[in-house]
Amino acid sequence: MTFNRSQNVVRRLTTSGEANIVYNGITDWVYEEEVFRSATAVWFSPDGQYLAFATFNDTVVKDMAYFHYGTPGSLEDQYPTEVKIKYPKAGTPNPVVSLSVIDLFDPLSKAVILKAPINEVTRQVIFVITTDNVLYVVSWWNKTHVIATWTNRVQNQSQMTMYSIQGDAKLVLSDEETEGWLQPNRPIRTRDYILLLRREPSGTSAGRFRHINRYEYKDGQFIMPLDLTPGPSEVHTILAADSPRGKVYYLATAPGEPSQRNLYSVPLDGSQKPTCISCKLLTPEGNRCTYATASFSRQRSYYALTCSGPDPITVTINDNNHQPVLTWNTNKLVRILLSRRLMPQQRNFNITVNGYDCKVRLLLPPDFDESKSYPLMLFVYAGPNTVRIIDEARYGYEHYLTTNRSIVHASIDVRGSAFKGSNMLFEIYRKLGTVEIEDTIAVTEILQKQYSWIDANRTGIWGWSYGGFTTGMVMIQDTNSVFKCGISIAPVSSWIYYDSIYTERFMGLPTPEDNLDGYNRTDISRRSEGMRGKKYMLIHGTEDDNVHYQQALALAKSLEHNDILFEQVTYTDEAHSLENVAPHLYHTMDKFWGECFGWGRDH
């Protein structure tokens, strides 16, 4: 709906909406979670006259049901309330998505559907986007044209299409990833060029990295790509293009430093190599800033530079000559409070296993003594295209464990991790629960053997969500008893239960013709025998709409039917974050670690 303030008139733009079935301009569950990362799906033209919006029809999407139990002892909650959400699981029907545009200035105008490039074949495109597609990116090219990127269901082929407001369509760019999955992103338009992130050869054995590709637009096509950021570093995101000054600003890792995120600029004409802007910045503690971001003014004359690592956040305002104009925030109070706290020591290094360098970060107790023996704790995630080790200043449970429990804490980035090149990244493709698990066990075993101060008999592992899945898979595949105990929080136990867009991106389809065997091999509940004799805790909330409580129940049922002892904690009416029961959660975990590591009463 729109509201004309001067005329005090409300105009209804769509009539097809249906509660929990058809969504106009807002995302359904899976698109909000896995594609747009936003509850809205509307895009205004530069002058505000036109509105592009997506429609999600969930008629064929199956329901996922769970119960809300309510207030204990309340008569109003004598009977649990059944809650249903449209949730497409791997291999089941996806929402049907469409894209439309409407004139907001003309009260008589009707929405024009911008049709997906279904079954279109051209000389340049040897694959087609079928009706079972995913709408990934929408942006305005100018006042009268919209660009949209569509992918096939498993997200390894894409077509970028330009639409007029009348609905005329023209394919401007196609892409295919033969080794893994695509990461469609919004094209950035400058005065003369178009900028996109694509994987390009790095000239190293690491394979391809995401770089800024500069295109020219001619005869309705993006042509003559030029890699503006070559080499073994990964571009996180394009922040701003400064056409008058001929520059583009972006965030990227440093070569060989995947944990860093620096601010760079590079000439749009490709005449010079990239320049790191944030690399020379020093924190108040005198350390070089290695984790930064920036926000630019509309004319690119000024920008706010935020340094958030390795020390607490500082924000400075700079001009386009990169000279500081104003120190906006130094978080002085935070720094004072932290100076009164004991902090762990930190060590960073690589360990080579299975042909790849896995980055390792250890946090050691403040009074660390190599002549003593310490328990080792791993907090894992290990999901595809993610990293655990970054240079951003973060203070969490691991700091409590190292400073209050005298534990050595380890983080490891294994195969499947981001920012280290396509070879290491795509090792995990179509085989979740394999290579990342092998590396986690192998690196931990090397740490135990390499450092005498790590107690191999007191090593634990825990993780949340994908990390809970990793923990469970590690426990069942750990045949050498590298780990003594583990906690899975809200874990995936079988990928057939998780949402389609995420799962199929990395695993393909759970069909005999595609990758059903891969799904079965990575199903923890099918391999529960490997948990026998191990100390394991399973934690989940009953109202988790992301990783459903069904996942925990399936694993628990398998363990119980095989007479395998384990511990289980259920949080009633709690969602994926378990935010309302945090004290109980961490006290429960603390007790579990105490039993595993043999903490005495003095702890």
Q: What is the pLDDT of residue 121?
A: 59
Instruction: Give residue-wise pLDDT tens across range 401-424.
Output: 999 999 999 999 999 999 999 999
Q: What is the pLDDT of residue 510?
A: 98
416 phi, psi to nearest 5 deg: 100, -10
pLDDT of residue 366 exceeding 90:
yes
Instruction: Give residue-wise pLDDT tens across range 65-101.
Output: 999 999 999 999 999 999 999 999 999 999 999 999 9
Residues 6+ apart with CB under 8 A from 284: 311, 314, 330, 335
Cα–Cα distance, 53 to 601 (Å, whole number) = 60
User: What's the pLDDT band for 600 if we cut at 50, 70, 90?
Assistant: low
Give the count of beta carbons closer than 10 Å to the beta carbon of residue 334. 15
Q: What is the pLDDT of residue 302?
A: 97
Tell me which of 28, 242, 413, 544 is the catalytic residue: 544
Instruction: Give residue-wise pLDDT tens across range 338-348.
Output: 999 999 999 99
Average pLDDT over residues 145-150: 97
pLDDT of residue 332 exceeding 90:
yes
Closest CA to 563 of 528, 522, 523, 527: 528
User: Do 287 and 311 touch, CB atoms closer than 8 A?
Assistant: yes
Instruction: Give residue-wise pLDDT tens across range 1-34.
Output: 776 777 777 888 888 989 999 999 999 999 999 9
Catalytic site includes residue 422: no
Q: What is the pLDDT of residue 120?
A: 65
Asked whether residue 107 is assigned to any structural domain, the reply reads: no
Instruction: Give residue-wise pLDDT tens across range 568-589.
Output: 999 999 999 999 999 999 999 9
Asked whether residue 118 is assigned to any structural domain, the reply reads: no
Q: What is the pLDDT of residue 602?
A: 45
Tell me which of 158, 259, 465, 528 is the catalytic residue: 465
User: What's the pLDDT band for 601 if we cut at 50, 70, 90?
Assistant: very low
- Residue 412 one-letter amino acid: I
Beta strands in 228-301 (DSSP E): 235-242, 247-254, 257-267, 275-276, 291-296
Cα–Cα distance, 339 to 85 (Å, whole number) = 47
Q: What is the pLDDT of residue 372?
A: 97
Q: What is the pLDDT of residue 5?
A: 73
Helices 466-477 and 435-450, packing angle to 10 deg = 70
Instruction: Give residue-wise pLDDT tens across range 549-561.
Output: 999 999 999 999 9
Q: How many C-alpha atoms does 24 have within 13 Å on its Cβ side?
A: 15
Q: Which uninterrupted H or E stretch holds 333?
A: helix 332-339
Tell me which of 236, 322, 399, 576 is the catalytic residue: 576
Asked whether residue 571 is assigned to any structural domain, the reply reads: yes
Asked whether residue 305 is assigned to any structural domain, the reply reads: no
Cα–Cα distance, 584 to 309 (Å, whole number) = 31
Average pLDDT over residues 514-520: 98
Q: What is the pLDDT of residue 350?
A: 98
CATH number of the structural domain spanning residue 411: 3.40.50.1820
Catalytic site includes residue 271: no
Region of residue 48 (phi > 0: left; psi between -120 and 50: alpha; otherwise: beta): left
Instruction: Give residue-wise pLDDT tens across range 238-297.
Output: 999 999 999 999 999 999 999 999 999 999 999 999 999 999 999 999 999 999 999 999
What is the chain's percent helix, strand, coil content, to nearest 5? 20, 35, 45
Domain hosting 403: range is 341-597
Burial of 547 from C-beta contacts in 10 A (0-12 / 13-18 / 19+): buried
Closest CA to 464 of 543, 547, 405: 547
Q: How many domains does the chain have?
A: 1
Asked whether residue 304 is assigned to any structural domain, the reply reads: no
Q: What is the mean pLDDT of the chain?
A: 95
Q: What is the pLDDT of residue 13?
A: 87
574 phi, psi to nearest 5 deg: -100, 140
User: What's the pLDDT band for 218 if we cut at 50, 70, 90?
Assistant: confident
Instruction: Give residue-wise pLDDT tens across range 96-141.
Output: 999 999 999 998 899 999 999 987 655 555 566 889 999 999 999 9
Asked whether residue 10 is assigned to any structural domain, the reply reads: no
Asked whether residue 228 is assigned to any structural domain, the reply reads: no
Asked whether residue 384 is assigned to any structural domain, the reply reads: yes
Q: What is the pLDDT of residue 123?
A: 53
